Amino acid sequence: MCLGIPGQIVEITDPARMAAMAEVSGVRREVNVACVAEGPLEGLIGQWALIHVGFAMSLIDEEEAAKTLDALRDLGEAQEALEQMAAGDAALEGRA
């Protein structure tokens, strides 16, 4: 349900209608920013938002995104270390 994709707000097109231009990989579409407008609309320019059916529904929290990725990378590194240890053990056993 609910196809949503990250897009970057690049321009405010009509403040009265809460309309802004969002860009996804070079493709532009006007979106409504009523749900994410807390301060002045200009503040949204450059921000990333989750776009769904022509509305910016939620601002993307870059810090949270980085945290999620860091946790995944830590897991990846731990896994790699384990694999290397296992490979080392196997090599030792092979020699013995």
Looking at residue 46, the DSSP 8-state letter turns out to be T
- Angle among Cα 55, 29, 34 to the nearest 5 degrees reads 25
Q: Which of 45, 72, 86, 87 is in the footprint of another protein by CB under 8 A?
A: 72
Q: Which of 14, 42, 61, 89 is in the footprint of another protein by CB under 8 A?
A: 61
CB closer to another protein, 78 vs 96: 78
Nearest CA to 4 among 47, 54, 51? 51
Rule CB under 8 A: is residue 47 a binding residue for another protein? no
Contacts with another protein by CB under 8 A: the residue count is 45
Q: Which span (39-47, 56-64, 84-92) binds another protein, by CB under 8 A?
A: 56-64
Report the half-sphere exposure of 76 (CA within 13 A, side-chain side). Answer: 6
